[in-house]
Amino acid sequence: MKITVFCIGFLKESYWKEAVSEYQKRLGNYVALDIVEIGDLPCPEKASPKEMDEIKRKEGQKILSKLKSSDYLIALDLKGKQYDSISFAHHIEEKLVQGGASLSFVIGGSLGLSEELLKRANESVCFGLPTFPHQLARVMLLEQLYRSFRILRNEPYHK
């Protein structure tokens, strides 16, 4: 089984890197995990909506160029479906079985995801209505994936 997480933006602070590293290590017992970081583009302080859309479009193009047509892509997006942890675990299991044991996620940068990338996604998932920084969203996704594999194997994990 393989999961690829595409992320716009790099982790700079050591505490984010440590959290991601810990979950990468834990997930290694269950799945091959690949995290692909794509540099975010600079955004002027007072960028117009048109300028922000263009930045998102260019960032999205970078990710789209790395995807294969066969990749099952799940976008993290505020308009996506919300799951509790058990439902998310079973959904991930179903997608891994259907998709030939491979699954991809995409996390946008500070401006979010381009419309083109959202249209390419097979589905969208939301981890809650508040907007989270992309660094935290990455940690949250990895934690939920780890929790999912623990649930699926009936292994204990804090509630």
Instruction: Please say if the pLDDT value at position 44 is more than 70.
Output: yes
Measured between alpha carbons, how far is 157 from 159 in angstroms, rounded to an integer?
6
Which percentage of the chain shows pLDDT scores above 90? 82
Contacts of 134 (CB under 8 A, 6+ apart): 7, 8, 9, 107, 108, 109, 110
pLDDT (tens digit, 9 = 90+) per residue, 117-153?
999 999 999 999 888 898 999 999 999 999 999 999 9
Contacts of 112 (CB under 8 A, 6+ apart): 56, 77
Q: Is 154 helix (H, G, I), strand (E, B) or coil?
A: coil
Domain ranges of the chain: 2-152
Q: 17 versus 43: which is more confidently predicted?
A: 17
Measured between alpha carbons, how far is 23 from 8 in angstroms, rounded to an integer?
19
In this prediction, residue 69 has a pLDDT band, given cuts at 50, 70 and 90, of confident
Pairing of strands 32-38, 102-107: unpaired
CATH code for 2-152?
Answer: 3.40.1280.10
- If you search the block for the tokens 């946008």, which residue do you land on? 108
